[in-house]
Amino acid sequence: HPLPERVAIPTEYASVGSRSATPSPDGTWVLLRSFASKDVAAFDVAGRQLKRLPMAGTPSDIALSRDGHVALVVLRDTGKVTILPLPGGLTDPQQVAVLDVSLPIAGCVPPSAPDAGAGTDGGAVADPCTQAPGQAVLSPDGQLAALFTNAEPSVGLVTLNLGTRTAVPFTGLKK
């Protein structure tokens, strides 16, 4: 048997330590993410083609539904998640949704200063009792996602309903 044809990948995906690959259940495509890139690459296995999908931040995780019809891309650096319907979202950006999501920090008590929440320039300050998600796990039916992080010493969890696009913080966690 001849060896498979080699496919060159962008240099941002070259470092094995900073990338991950998420194959579709049927093996027809693979989603790639790298800490060195602000996009997700979709590789069509049969067509040997790579398409780059711009994201609103650097992907830190990709969770894929069991049936391969939905990917949830977590963008820790911007506090956003991207809902990517598959395969339609690979070619039609109108099908893709980007949501702001923050995790409550368990046991955090917000500052009670009178000017809390206002920056020196009059703008809002990030809530000190929230953090950005870094990872996601989808329910078996692909309708719900648990968003969390393991990059911080604190604990936070949000359940995201992909159908209604609503996030519900889980506040029963203890530090």
Q: pLDDT tens-digit profile of 85-138?
A: 998 998 999 999 999 998 887 777 777 744 444 444 444 456 788 888 999 999
Rounded to two decimals, what is the model's pTM? 0.83
What average pLDDT does the segment 129-152 reach? Answer: 88
CA pair distance 20, 62, nearest whole angstrom: 9
The Cα angle at residue 91 between residues 88 and 97, in degrees rounded to 5: 65
* The predicted structure's pLDDT at residue 120: 45
Residue 27 has pLDDT above 80, yes or no: yes
Average pLDDT, rounded, for the chain: 84
The Cα angle at residue 29 between residues 27 and 30, in degrees rounded to 5: 100
CB 64 within 8 A of CB 85: no
Bridge partners, 103 (sequence order): 131
* The predicted structure's pLDDT at residue 107: 73
* The predicted structure's pLDDT at residue 116: 47
Positive or negative, the Cα torsion across 52, 57, 62, 64? negative
CB 45 within 8 A of CB 2: no
Residue 88 sits at φ, ψ, to 5 deg, of: -55, -40
Assigned token pair, 106 = 């368990």
* The predicted structure's pLDDT at residue 99: 95
CA pair distance 22, 143, nearest whole angstrom: 19
